[in-house]
């Protein structure tokens, strides 16, 4: 059934306190929940109390310590209804349930992973532990008592501060925790088991000392040192940039091997997918280090944006996620290179969120209905949600944005609030009416802005005509014009900045031009020479921009823009038409051409030593095959796109041999490995050069030598990727793959790289390779990371292999989805979203994709998760 935002009502009963006791056992854990409630004022004295459950069985129920007669309640696996409760006095319900963590393969609620007990409660996992008002607007302080076998579980952890512990007879012990900060059930966590620890402390701005602990499997402690460093930097940054201090005596992170998502911000006790904690030079790439830094920060930042101030209901998910992603983006930008970080964000947004926003799964950043909330942890809520927050900062400017955030923290601390509450803080500090701007939360679809410019030398004016169009999306046909803040710059022929004397027709504040009407013409006065317009600098607004600029103008921007993001964008805009035309030509069997203006500009940037290496590496990374498919917009043939892109890459490789040789020799990082951004940038540029050099070599020798010489995982996996992608069927590649497997067979996270590299090898043979890899004991169907590495990479990142013309890839995926769904619906549903763009395929493949999807749709016993996705993907 569908949940509607319009149906939101506060609960009938107010929860005052929660007291939980867990008697842990692998298959029979006893949970006793003592809940103190009172009836909310003005609520019908006859109204019953209805609590949520999921696959629960009630084994005891007391009201104020007295057993309740059966006539006074109804218990089903999904709910507990209690009648005839006191009209006005508080009462205590004691609910006992017995659950089986070992059998919990959904990884929601209390489950077991690698011999330890762990929980995941967001969004609706707590109801798999006990009957509860399992919704984010029910906040209470929690006491948690944990009893467990002492030898197997020396560690007993929960939220808040440690109260104490002691022996408990028969080889058991117990520990008690108290979290004074009222919180919703989705932030509850419990971890028990035997783990190693890395410890440190952090002294907050006001001088309080906080104990920091990161728990990992024994023996992996050295690999948690970088995460600890990232945590301390995050804590400091949040104090400096947002004035946010930590608020408990202890902050803990636990790394687990079986986890559906990246990590979870439970109060004082974050639980992480170990992929985002463990790192050392031998096993982690520079990208892994950057992800760890970002995700540690993200979860830590949730302590204020999510935990202290939480969501009234799940429609408000972007209130905490969009804002927290924005905060972690800003953190990484400050820790590393801001323009390079922005390029990576925009790449990610365009390749993941834009397809979502233009396909059958499109939904507003703040949706108004859902069938399965797990399916709304999307790039739209997270990444577009972050972009909307960024636009508020752009609209208001740094100072007012800061004031608005301060007001938000001040006004709403301890509350469960809405997007409207958030936006009102910025309206109140700025006096600006943000109602039109708020359409960004409510209207799905990526706006298309069409721009054209005209220079009038006599009048010394430059006129910019803008038109916006927001495409129709499921459930939303008619759209209103949005408030679109476009950063812009005007450049002279020699690259100098042109500052207009004034602007009319549209508001211009600093470099931000405000487009608010469907069509609008802005005129810039006092322009004494033809300007080159750089539009949507730093991607100030997440739109598709249609603006034809000559290759000369783009090359000028690529060379002179002060905004380096805009330089990168100009090079993409120079290259993209070539890639698109090449794809059309490959489809027609026509010879592929490539404009030398593009190759020259690209190579000039790559060779420009005044630019950061990381930026140059980004320049050398062409749009992906999926990016090209999205830009083509329909009737797509993955083989033609692949052939086209490869041809262009080869042209660049041949034209740039000298540049690439110099980079490969010059960009070494001698000495001990350090994961800092500057060294990572040099490695990225050097490996990009190696990839192009291998293209022109046409032999695997150079990449194999690089593989043999590598002394860190970044270089090792880069060389292995080149071998696998470019020379899949050679002895060199086979040898490197076997060597890599044998060397890292005992490190599952590195084996994920080995699986993913092979899953991405293009061509119709990919499926057979996948099937063989599934047979190796290194692959485990029950582990989400393994499944995502092999099956996820195949479906999301191998368009020619997955999309082979006979439909075998789609059929394979359907079988896998049906099987995974039996165990882990969230994982199955997530991987199924790889089919969201099937309607853009040429008719033969589209037919195969549709039949595979229909086979899923007709299967019996689907989870709500998969049912929701498959229905939406297939809907006309
Ligand atoms: N709140 C977590 C984060 O973004 C993600 C949890 C997602 N859980 C889920 N069941 N979908 O930091
Ligand atoms: Zn989050």
Does 19 sit in the ligand 1 pocket, CB within 6 Å?
Answer: no
Per-residue model confidence as pLDDT tens digits over 456-474: 999 999 999 999 999 999 9
Residue with tokens 């508001």: 507
Task: Choose among 15, 13, 271, 256: nearest CA to 121.
Answer: 271
In the chain, what percentage of residues exceed pLDDT 90? 99
Mean predicted confidence (pLDDT) in 204-211: 98
| 522 touches ligand 1 (CB under 6 Å) | no
Q: Residues 6 or more apart from 431 whose CB is under 8 A from it? A: none
- Cβ of 138 closer than 6 Å to ligand 1, yes or no, is no
**How many angstroms is it from 292 CA to the middle of ligand 1?**
16
Separation of alpha carbons 790 and 787, rounded Å: 5
Q: How far apart are CA 325 and CA 341, in angstroms?
A: 13
Looking at the predicted structure, is the pLDDT value of residue 731 above 90?
yes
What's the rounded Cα separation, in Å, for the pair 827 and 749? 18
Is the minimum distance from the CB of 122 to ligand 1 under 6 angstroms?
Answer: yes
pLDDT of residue 530: 98
CA 352 – CA 90 distance, rounded (Å): 49
Q: Which ligand is nearest to the CA of 186?
A: 1
CB 51 within 8 A of CB 133: yes
Q: Which residues are CB-neighbours of 793 under 8 A, at least 6 positions away?
A: 755, 756, 759, 760
Report CA(376)–ligand 2 centroid distance (Å): 12
Cis peptide before 123, with omega less than 30 degrees from 0?
Answer: yes
Question: Is the Cβ atom of 321 under 6 angstroms away from ligand 1?
Answer: yes
49 is written with which tokens?
Answer: 């109390």
Label residue 876 by pLDDT band (50, 70, 90).
Answer: confident
Kindly indicate the confidence band of residue 96, based on its pLDDT and cuts at 50, 70 and 90: very high
Predicted confidence at residue 112, as pLDDT, reads: 98
297 pocket-lining for ligand 1 (C-beta < 6 Å): no
Ramachandran class of 774: left when φ > 0, alpha when ψ lies in -120 to 50, beta otherwise: alpha
Contact, 338 vs 160, CB < 8 A? no
pLDDT at 744: 98
Mutate to test the pocket of ligand 1, among 253, 256, 259, 261 (most ligand atoms within 8 A of CB): 261
On whether the CB atoms of residues 299 and 331 are closer than 8 A, the answer is no
Q: What are the CB-based long-range contacts (under 8 Å, 24+) for 801-805?
A: 801/759, 801/760, 801/761, 801/762, 801/763, 801/764, 801/765, 801/766, 801/767, 801/770, 802/766, 802/767, 802/834, 803/638, 803/841, 803/845, 804/764, 804/766, 804/767, 805/639, 805/764, 805/844, 805/845
Phi, psi of 84 (to 5 degrees): 55, 50
Query: Counting atoms of ligand 1 from 1, which one is nearest the CA of 373?
Result: 11
Element (H, E) at 179: strand 172-183
What is the spatial distance between Cα 330 and Cα 264, in angstroms, rounded to a whole number? 20
Residues 6+ apart with CB under 8 A from 666: none
| DSSP code per residue over 330-373 | HHHHHHS-HHHHHHHHHHHIIIIIHHHHTSTT---SS-SEES-G
Q: Token pair of 254, please?
A: 């636990």
CA dihedral 763, 768, 770, 771 (to 10 degrees): 170
CA of 382, closest atom in ligand 1: 4
Q: Calculate the alpha carbon distances from 32 to 51, 328, 750 in Å.
A: 15, 38, 41
What element of type H or E holds 509?
strand 507-509
Mean of all residue pLDDT scores within the chain: 98
CA–CA distance, 595 with 578 (Å, rounded to integer): 7
The DSSP element (H or E) to which 155 belongs, if any, is: strand 155-158
d(CA 554, CA 533): 9
Contact call for residues 842 and 803 (beta carbons, < 8 A): no
Rounded to 5°, the CA angle 661-667-669 comes to: 140
For residue 321, give the ligand 1 atom closest to its CA: 4
Could you read off the pLDDT of 213-242 as tens digits, one per residue? Answer: 999 999 999 999 999 999 999 999 999 999
Residues that place a CB less than 5 A from ion ligand 2:
321, 324
Ligand 1 center from residue 121 Cα (angstroms): 9
Distance 381 CA to ligand 2 centre (A): 10
pLDDT tens sequence across 142-169: 999 999 999 999 999 999 999 999 999 8
Ligand 1 mutation target, pool 319, 377, 828, most atoms within 8 A of CB: 377
Residue 424 pLDDT level (bands cut at 50, 70, 90)? very high
User: 382 CB less than 6 Å from ligand 1?
Assistant: no
Provide the pLDDT for residue 480: 98
Question: Ligand nearest 263 Cα, by number?
Answer: 1
Which tens digit of pLDDT belongs to each residue from 520-541?
999 999 999 999 999 999 999 9
Which residues have a catalytic role annotated? 299
Tell me, using a 6 A CB cutoff, whether residue 594 lines ligand 1.
Answer: no
Please state, in angstroms and rounded to a whole number, the distance separating the CA atoms of residues 108 and 93. Answer: 24
Token output for 165 = 């512990």
Ligand nearest 324 Cα, by number? 2
What is the distance between the alpha carbons of residues 22 and 734, in angstroms, rounded to a whole number? 51
CA dist 610 and 561 (Å) reads 14
Secondary structure element (H or E) that encloses residue 766, with its range:
helix 766-775
How many angstroms does the Cα of residue 192 sit away from the middle of ligand 2? 24
Q: What is the mean pLDDT of residues 57-81?
A: 98
- Which residue in 505, 519, 515 sits closest to 535, CA to CA? 515
Are 322 and 366 within 8 A, CB to CB? no
Distance CA 111, CA 121 (A): 11
Contact status, residue 796 vs residue 789, Cβ threshold 8 Å:
no
d(CA 60, CA 58): 6
Q: State pLDDT tens for residues 245-264.
A: 999 999 999 999 999 999 99
Taking alpha carbons only, the member of 546, 491, 541 closest to residue 513 is 541
Q: What is the DSSP string of 856-868?
A: HHHSSS--HHHHH
DSSP code, position 77: S
The token duo for 33 is 């929940």
Residue 119 is encoded by which pair of tokens? 């929980």
Please work out whether the CB of residue 637 comes within 6 Å of at least one atom of ligand 1.
no
pTM of the model: 0.99
């Amino acid at each position: 059934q569908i949940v509607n935002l319009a149906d939101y009502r506060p609960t009938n009963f107010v929860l005052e306190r929660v007291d939980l006791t867990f008697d842990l056992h692998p298959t029979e854990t006893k949970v006793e929940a003592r809940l103190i409630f009172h009836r909310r004022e003005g609520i019908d004295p006859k109204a019953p109390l209805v609590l949520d459950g999921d696959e629960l069985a009630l084994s005891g129920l007391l009201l104020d310590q007295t057993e309740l007669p059966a006539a006074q309640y109804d218990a089903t696996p999904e709910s507990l209804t209690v009648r005839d409760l006191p009209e006005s006095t508080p009462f205590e319900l004691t609910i006992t349930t017995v659950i089986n963590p070992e059998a919990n393969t959904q990884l929601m609620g209390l489950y077991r992973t690698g011999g330890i007990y762990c929980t995941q409660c967001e969004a609706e996992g707590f109801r798999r532990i006990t009957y509860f008002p399992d919704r984010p607007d029910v906040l209470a302080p929690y006491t948690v008592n944990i009893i467990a076998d002492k030898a197997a579980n020396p560690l007993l952890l929960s939220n808040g501060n440690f109260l104490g512990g002691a022996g408990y007879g028969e080889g058991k012990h117990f520990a008690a925790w108290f979290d004074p900060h009222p919180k919703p059930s989705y932030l509850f966590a419990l971890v028990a088991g035997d783990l190693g620890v890395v410890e440190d402390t952090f002294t907050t701005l006001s001088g309080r000392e906080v104990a920091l602990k990161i728990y990992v499997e024994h023996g992996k402690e050295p690999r948690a040192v970088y995460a600890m460093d990232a945590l301390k930097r995050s804590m400091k940054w949040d104090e400096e940039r947002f004035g946010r201090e930590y608020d408990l005596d202890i902050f803990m992170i636990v790394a687990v091997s079986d986890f559906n998502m990246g990590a979870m911000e439970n109060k004082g006790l974050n639980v992480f997918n170990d992929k985002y904690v463990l790192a050392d030079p031998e096993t982690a790439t520079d990208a892994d280090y950057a992800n760890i830094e970002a995700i540690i920060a993200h979860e830590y930042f949730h302590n204020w944006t999510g935990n202290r101030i939480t969501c009234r209901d799940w429609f408000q998910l972007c209130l905490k996620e969009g804002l927290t992603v924005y905060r972690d983006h800003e953190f990484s930008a400050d820790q590393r290179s801001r323009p390079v970080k922005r390029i990576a964000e925009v790449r990610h947004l365009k390749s993941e969120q834009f397809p979502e926003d233009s396909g059958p799964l499109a939904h507003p950043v703040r949706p108004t209905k859902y069938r399965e909330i797990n399916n709304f942890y999307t790039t739209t809520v997270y990444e577009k949600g972050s972009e909307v927050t960024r636009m508020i900062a752009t609209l208001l400017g740094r100072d007012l944005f800061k004031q608005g955030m301060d007001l938000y923290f001040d006004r709403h601390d301890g509350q469960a609030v809405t997007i409207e509450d958030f936006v009102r803080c910025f309206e109140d500090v700025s006096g600006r009416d943000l109602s039109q701007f708020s359409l960004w939360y409510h209207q799905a679809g990526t706006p298309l802005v069409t721009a054209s410019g005209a220079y009038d030398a006599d009048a010394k004016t430059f006129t910019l005509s803008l038109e916006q169009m927001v495409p129709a999306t499921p459930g939303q046909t008619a759209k209103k014009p949005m408030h679109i803040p476009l950063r812009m710059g005007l450049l002279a022929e020699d690259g100098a900045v042109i500052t207009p004397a004034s602007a009319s027709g549209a508001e211009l504040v600093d470099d931000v031009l405000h487009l608010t009407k469907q069509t609008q013409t802005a005129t810039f006065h006092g322009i004494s020479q033809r300007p080159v317009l750089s539009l949507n600098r730093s991607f100030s607004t997440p739109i598709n921009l249609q603006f034809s600029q000559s290759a000369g103008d783009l090359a000028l921007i690529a060379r002179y823009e002060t905004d380096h993001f805009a330089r990168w964008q100009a090079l993409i805009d120079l290259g993209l038409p070539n890639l698109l035309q090449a794809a059309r030509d490959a489809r027609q069997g026509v010879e592929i051409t490539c404009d030398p203006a593009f190759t020259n500009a690209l190579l000039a940037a790559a060779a420009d030593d005044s630019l950061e290496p990381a930026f140059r590496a980004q320049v050398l990374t062409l749009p992906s095959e999926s990016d090209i498919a999205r830009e083509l917009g329909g009737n797509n043939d993955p083989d033609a796109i692949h052939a086209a892109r490869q041809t262009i890459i080869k042209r660049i490789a041949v034209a740039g041999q000298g540049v690439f040789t110099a980079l490969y020799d010059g960009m070494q990082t001698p000495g001990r490995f350090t994961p800092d951004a500057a060294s990572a940038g040099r490695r990225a540029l050097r490996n990009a050069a190696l990839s192009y050099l291998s293209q022109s070599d046409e032999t695997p020798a150079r990449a194999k030598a690089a593989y043999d010489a590598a002394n860190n995982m970044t270089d090792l996996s880069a060389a292995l990727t080149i071998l696998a992608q470019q020379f899949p069927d050679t002895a060199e590649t086979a040898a490197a793959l076997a060597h890599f497997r044998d060397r890292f067979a005992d490190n599952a996270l590195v084996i994920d790289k080995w699986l993913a590299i092979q899953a991405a090898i293009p061509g119709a043979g990919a499926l057979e390779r996948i099937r063989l890899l599934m047979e190796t004991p290194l692959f485990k169907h029950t582990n989400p990371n393994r499944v995502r590495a092999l099956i996820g990479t195949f479906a999301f990142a191998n368009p020619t292999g997955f999309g082979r013309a006979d439909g075998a890839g789609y059929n394979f995926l359907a079988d896998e989805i049906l099987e995974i769904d039996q165990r882990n619906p969230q994982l199955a549903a997530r991987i199924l979203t790889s089919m969201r763009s099937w309607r853009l395929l040429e008719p033969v493949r589209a037919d195969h994709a549709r039949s595979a999807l229909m086979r899923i749709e007709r299967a019996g016993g689907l989870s709500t998760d998969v049912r929701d996705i498959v229905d939406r993907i297939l809907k006309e």
